[in-house]
Structure 1
Amino acid sequence: MEESEWRWFAKCWVVLTIIFISLPQRADSVIVEGNLTTREDWVFLTRFCFLSDDGELSFTFIVPEDYGVEEVLLYFDDPSQWASVYKVPGLTCSEKKVPIDDARNQKITLSTSYYWAGCKYDTTRRPGRPVYVCQGGRTFKSYRARWWFIGLANCSTTKGLQLEYRLHMTNSKNNTFFREFSADEFYILQVDISFSVIYIILLLLSVYCAYMLRSRQLFHTTYKMYMVSLGCEVIFLLIKVSYYATLANTGYKYPGVKIFARIFESIATLTFLLMLILLAKGYTVTRGRLRQATAVKITVMMTFYILLYIVMFIWEAVFFDPGLVLYLYQSPPGYGLIGMRLLGWLWFCYATFFTLKNYPEKNLFYYPLFVFFTLWFWAGPIVILVAMNVINLWVREKVVNGVELCVSFVGHFIFLILTRPSAANKNFPFHVRTTQVGVMDTPEQNGVPASASTDLDSFGAHAYAPSTETKEANGSAPTTNFMNLFVTSKERSKEPVNIDSFPHSYSNGNTAYSS
C-alpha cells in the first residue's frame, strides 16, 4: 500500500472517532438519573439484567402532586411480559398494564397510600408546588438471571407524565467485580484484563521478531501491518478495561469511551484482514508491489469496509431501541459487514490459489496460512450469527466478548508462529531483503534493465537470505535502534530483484532454501 493510501485510511478513522464521541449516547448506566416530561401516559425508562436474589434496585422518585398518581411498572423478559406490550401497535395504557401482577410486586405506586414506595409529601422542596418524594428499593427473585424493563404510567392522566428519578441497579453486594454489572456483563472485566496481559506479551514477542527480521533485512511491510494490528488490539483492550473498571468503581457508564475502544478494535481487524489479502496476493513474499488494478480493488474494498463500520456505529448510537436487547451487528450495515468478511475470504482463497500455482515452493507457508485463516475468516460471521439467533440474551454479552477475543488472539498468535525468524521454522515466508525491493527501477538499455539478464517477471531460483545477522563494515554485529523498527533501510543491495515477481526461493531468516 502506498503511503498516501495509509494516510487516507488514517484520516477516515480520525473522522470516525470524532463523529462517535460527539454522538448523543443512551443512558444505560447502572445508575440512571434524569428528568422526564412527556405528553404520553406510558413510557419506558431503562433496563437491567438482575441476578436472582442478589439483584437489587434502589430508587428515588420525585413526582409533582398536580400530575396525579404515577406508577412504576416492572416487566421481565418473558414473552407474556415485555414483548407483549413494547412496540405493539394499538395498545392502550391500561392494556399495557395487563401483564403486571401485583402479587409479584411488579408495580410501585408513587403515593403515600402505598407503604412500600416510601413516599413522603413535601411542600418545601419546590415552593408553591408540592411533590411526592419516594425512596425505597426492590429485590428480584427468579429461577435464572432475567432482563427487567422499567416503565412509568398514569393511565388516567390528561397532562402526561413528569418525574425526576434516580435508579441504582446492582448485583452481588459484596463482590466488586459483579456489583455494578448487569448479569450479562459478568466476567467481562476479568476476561479483558487477562487478554490485555496476553496481548502485551504477544506484542513484545512481535517486537523481538521484528528486531531479528530487521537485522536480516527481512522486516517487510506486511509484518509491520501485523504489528500495527497487535498494537491497536492492545489499545482497544486497555481502553475497554478502563471503561469497565470505571463502571465497577462508580456505577456510571461512559459510552463514548467504549465506542472509542471499538474503533481501535475495528482498525486492528481491518489491518489484519488487509494484511492477509496482501499476503495471499504474494505481496512481500513473491512480489514487491501490486498491479495498479489490484491496488485499486483493494482500496475500494477497504473503503467499503470503513464506511460500513461508520454506518454501523452510527446506527447503533442513533437507531438502536434501548427498550430492546440488541447486538451490535443486528442492523443492515452489520449484515453488510458479514457479507464483506465473506467476500474478503473469497478473494483470499482466489489469491492464495494463484500464488501457489505460480510459486508451489511456497506451499509450506501458504497451506497453513490458507487453512488457519479460512477458519479465522469464517469464525467472525459464525460468532455473529450464533450470537444473534442462538445465545440467550442474559448471557450473550459476556459469551460473545470472550469468543471474539479468543478468535482474534488465535489469528494473531498463529501468524506470529508462521513468521517467526527461527531456523526450525520451515514455514517462514520471506526470502528477499527489504533493501532489494525497488532495485528493479534501474535504467533501461534498449527496453531491458541494465542489470537484468533474465525474465523480469520470474527470476531463476536462488538462495538468498543470510545465515547470520548482517555484519557492519568493520565485521562487528549491527547495533539496531528499536525506534527504527518501522523504517526500511535506505541502503540497497547490489543484487537486483524483480519487484513484481520475487525469485522462486524461500528462507526461514537463518537458513536459505531454494527450489
Structure 2
Amino acid sequence: MDRVLGFAVVSSVLCVGSVLGKYVRGIVNTKEDWVFLTRFCFLTDSGRLDFKFRYPKSRCCQNILLYFDESSQWPSVYKRPEKDCYQKEAVLRPENNQVINLTTRYTWSGCVVEGEGDEEILSCVGGRSFRSVRERWWYIALSKCGGGGLQLEYEMKLTNGQSFWTQHFSADEFGILETDITFLVIFATVFTLSCYFAYNLKGRQLLHTTYKMFMTAAGVEVLSLLFFCIYWGLYARDGVGNGSLKILGKLLFSVSFLVFLLMLILLGKGFTVTRARISHSGSVKLSIYMTVYTITYIILFIYEAEFFDPGEVLYAYDSPAGYGLMGLQLLAYVWFCYAVLVSLKHYPEKQPFYIPFFAAYTLWFFAVPVMALIANFGISRWAREKIVNGIQLGIHLYAHVVFLAITRPSAANKNFPYHVRTSQIGILLSSPKGMGTESFPHHAYGNSSFLGDSQPNFTELFSIHSAPLKTIDEAVGWKGQEVAQNSDQKIITTTSDLSSTFSPPPPPIPPRSSALSPPPPRLASHFTEYFSMQGGAGMGSKA
C-alpha cells in the first residue's frame, strides 16, 4: 500500500494544471496560418459564445472559424496536412454565420480601433448564439490565409443557458455535479455502515485486515467524490474551477480501485478466511502485479494530460495505457478465479461465502473493460462523459454494497467469511514457518456465535476443543484383581456390585428398648439438601 500511495503522489505532481475550464484565455503568436483554439458542446438552442479579441492592426485581417462535428466539417479539416488554409475555410457555410471576420468592416464582430500610429490595436468584443438540431460539439479556430502568421490575445466565455447547473457546463457534462453529489451521499452512508459493522466485529475479535482494506477503499472513495464535488461546484460558479482538485479526485478514485482490487485477490487466495498469511512467492507476485498496475495508471494519467489532443473528443481508456489497464484487469480475473478454486478445494465448507463472492465479482471484473469498450465505440461523443461517469460510479457502488452485505455481522448472514478471531491469528503467525500453521483449522461458520455485545458466549466458555489424548497405563486392583486398560478410550462405568469381593454385612443390631436411652438427634430442616445423597441406581440413604 505504501508503494501505491507513493506512485499516486508522484503522478499528482506531474498532472497538476492540465485541465482548462470553459472560460478560456490566452495568447497566440505563431507563424502558422490556421490554429485550433478550443471546443465546447452546446445545447440545441441555449448555446452562447461571448468573446474579446485584441491584435495589432498591422497583422490584419484574422478570422474566427466555427466548425461543428459533422464529418464534412471538423473531421475533414483537423489533422489533414494535405489541405491548406483556404481549403479548410472552404468547408464552412457563410449562410450559417460560421466565420467571424475580425475587422471594422464586419459589423457583427464588434471591432474598433484603439490607439494611434504604429500602436493601433483592433479590439473586438461581441458574442454569438448557437442553434442546432441536437447537442453538438463546436470547434473554434483562428486563421489568416496568405501568410504573415497569427498574433492574437483572446478571452472566450462559452455557456449553456443561465442555470447554475448548466451555464458553464458543456452539454456532455450535464448532470455530472448532481450525479457526484448523489453518489457522495450514498458512499458516505456505505462508509458509515462499514464503520458500524467494524465496531461490532472488533468487539467479537473478527475485524480482519481485509475488512480494514474495504473500509479504506470506501473512505478514499468518499474523499475522491468530495474533491470532485468541490471541483465541479467551483467550475459551475466561474467556468474555470481548480484543476488540481479534479486531478486529486482522479488519483483518489484510482487508489480506491487499486485497494479494492488487491483486497479481492487476497480474499480469493483465502487471506483472513482460510489462512493467516500469504506465502512468500504469492506476496512477491502480488507486489509485482500491483506495481505494474499502478505504473500503468500513472502512464494513463500522464498520457491523458500530455498527449491527448484537445481537438478531439477522447476517452481515457481510448489509449495504449487504457487498453493495458483492461488487459491487466482480465489478468487479475484469471488469477482471482484460480485463487478461489484452490481455496474451495481445501476448504469446501466455505462455499456459502465463496460462491456468491465469486459470482458477484465476476460481473465486476468484466464490467470495467466492457464499459470502456462501450464508451469508446457505442456512446455518442456529445453524451459520453456524463454517461460514463454515472456507469463508473455505479460499478464502484455495486462492488462496495455487495461486500458490505456479505460481511455484515448478523446471525442471519449465512455468507459471513470470518470464523477465526484476530487473537488466534497472532498465535498462528508467531509459529515457525513450514509447521503447517499458516492455514486455519476447518470450521464451518456458525451464526449462533453472534450474540449481543452485552451477552457472554457461554457456549465457547464451556466447550472443550479437541486435543491429543494422553494415555496413562494404570492397573487398578482390589484384592489381587486387576482392571484392564480401556484401550479404545471409552467411558469406564463403575458398578456397585461388590458381592464377589466383600462378605455380606451382618444383620443390623436392633435398638435397645430402654426408657433411659435418649432419642437420636434430628437435623434441622434447612440442612437437608446439603447432607442428603443424590441417589443413583441402587444407591440411597436410610434414616
Tell me, yes or no, whether TM beats 0.5: yes
Corresponding residue number in structure 1 for 2:103: 111
Corresponding residue number in structure 2 for 1:502: none
Quick one: which amino acid aligns to residue 29 of structure 1?
G
RMSD, aligned CA: 2.3
Corresponding residue number in structure 1 for 2:368: 380
CA deviations 1:171-218 (Å, max 9, x no partner) are 022x11011100000000001000000111110000000000000000
Answering whether residue 366 of structure 2 is matched by residue 371 of structure 1, we say no
Answering whether residue 245 of structure 2 is matched by residue 257 of structure 1, we say yes
CA deviations 1:12-69 (Å, max 9, x no partner) are 2222222222xx525x311111111111000000000001110000011112111111
Answering whether residue 167 of structure 2 is matched by residue 184 of structure 1, we say no
Corresponding residue number in structure 2 for 1:132: 122
Q: Distance in 1 between matches of 2:335 and 2:128?
A: 55
Structure 1 stretch displaced more, 11-20 or 183-192: 11-20
Contact 2:268 2:343 in 1 (8 A): yes
Corresponding residue number in structure 1 for 2:313: 325
For the residue of structure 2 that corresponds to 1:169, the secondary structure is strand
C-alpha displacement of 1:459: 3.6
- Flag the structure with larger Rg: 2
Quick one: which amino acid aligns to residue 139 of structure 1?
S
Contact 2:419 2:443 in 1 (8 A): no
C-alpha displacement of 1:91: 1.2
Contact 2:168 2:235 in 1 (8 A): yes
Contact 1:20 1:314 in 2 (8 A): yes
C-alpha displacement of 1:440: 2.7
Corresponding residue number in structure 2 for 1:486: none
Quick one: which amino acid aligns to residue 25 of structure 1?
S
Contact 1:74 1:148 in 2 (8 A): yes
Contact 1:44 1:323 in 2 (8 A): yes
Corresponding residue number in structure 1 for 2:191: 203
C-alpha displacement of 1:7: 2.5
Answering whether residue 415 of structure 2 is matched by residue 427 of structure 1, we say yes
Corresponding residue number in structure 2 for 1:35: 27
Q: Distance in 1 between matches of 2:355 and 2:293?
A: 27
For the residue of structure 1 that corresponds to 2:54, the secondary structure is strand
Corresponding residue number in structure 2 for 1:58: 50
Contact 2:409 2:450 in 1 (8 A): no
Corresponding residue number in structure 1 for 2:12: 17
For the residue of structure 1 that corresponds to 2:90, the secondary structure is coil
TM-score, structure 1 normalization: 0.85
Corresponding residue number in structure 2 for 1:362: 350
Corresponding residue number in structure 2 for 1:403: 391
Quick one: which amino acid aligns to residue 170 of structure 1?
T
Corresponding residue number in structure 1 for 2:471: none
CA deviations 1:278-306 (Å, max 9, x no partner) are 00000000001001111111111100110
Q: Distance in 2 between matches of 1:178 and 1:392?
A: 19
Contact 1:440 1:496 in 2 (8 A): no
Answering whether residue 145 of structure 2 is matched by residue 155 of structure 1, we say yes
Q: Distance in 1 between matches of 2:166 and 2:424?
A: 56
For the residue of structure 2 that corresponds to 1:179, the secondary structure is coil
Answering whether residue 151 of structure 2 is matched by residue 168 of structure 1, we say no
For the residue of structure 1 that corresponds to 2:125, the secondary structure is strand
Contact 1:63 1:110 in 2 (8 A): no
Q: Distance in 2 between matches of 1:352 and 1:369?
A: 9
C-alpha displacement of 1:95: 0.8
Corresponding residue number in structure 2 for 1:194: 182
Structure 1 stretches lacking a partner, 5+ long: 1-5, 477-493, 498-515
From 262, 265, 282, the counterpart of 1:274: 262
Equivalences for 1:91-110 in 2 at 5 Å? 91-110=83-102
Contact 2:47 2:129 in 1 (8 A): yes
C-alpha displacement of 1:255: 2.5
For the residue of structure 2 that corresponds to 1:112, the secondary structure is coil
Q: Distance in 2 between matches of 1:448 and 1:72?
A: 75
Quick one: which amino acid aligns to residue 468 of structure 1?
L
Shift in alpha-carbon separation, 1:184–1:443, aligned structure 2, 3 A = closer
Q: Distance in 1 between matches of 2:323 and 2:137?
A: 26
Quick one: which amino acid aligns to residue 147 of structure 1?
W
Equivalences for 1:482-497 in 2 at 5 Å? none
From 19, 31, 44, the counterpart of 2:36: 44
Shift in alpha-carbon separation, 1:88–1:443, aligned structure 2, 3 A = closer
Quick one: which amino acid aligns to residue 151 of structure 1?
A
Corresponding residue number in structure 1 for 2:451: 468
Contact 1:279 1:285 in 2 (8 A): yes
Equivalences for 1:75-94 in 2 at 5 Å? 75-94=67-86
Structure 1 stretch displaced more, 354-363 or 249-258: 249-258
Q: Distance in 1 between matches of 2:207 and 2:301?
A: 35
Q: Distance in 1 between matches of 2:72 and 2:348?
A: 62
Q: Distance in 2 between matches of 1:234 and 1:496?
A: 46
For the residue of structure 2 that corresponds to 1:341, the secondary structure is helix
Q: Distance in 1 between matches of 2:197 and 2:453?
A: 15
Corresponding residue number in structure 1 for 2:520: none
Quick one: which amino acid aligns to residue 366 of structure 1?
Y
C-alpha displacement of 1:257: 1.8
Contact 1:35 1:165 in 2 (8 A): yes
TM-score, structure 2 normalization: 0.81
Equivalences for 1:270-309 in 2 at 5 Å? 270-309=258-297
Shift in alpha-carbon separation, 1:257–1:459, aligned structure 2, 3 A = closer
Corresponding residue number in structure 1 for 2:337: 349
CA deviations 1:431-483 (Å, max 9, x no partner) are 00011113135578xx997xxxx9875745477884436779xx89xxxxxxx
For the residue of structure 2 that corresponds to 1:89, the secondary structure is coil
Contact 1:436 1:495 in 2 (8 A): no
For the residue of structure 1 that corresponds to 2:380, the secondary structure is coil
Quick one: which amino acid aligns to residue 84 of structure 2?
T
Structure 2 stretches lacking a partner, 5+ long: 458-463, 468-543
Q: Percent identity?
A: 45
Q: Distance in 1 between matches of 2:181 and 2:36?
A: 34
Q: Distance in 1 between matches of 2:110 and 2:71?
A: 31
Q: Distance in 1 between matches of 2:278 and 2:375?
A: 38
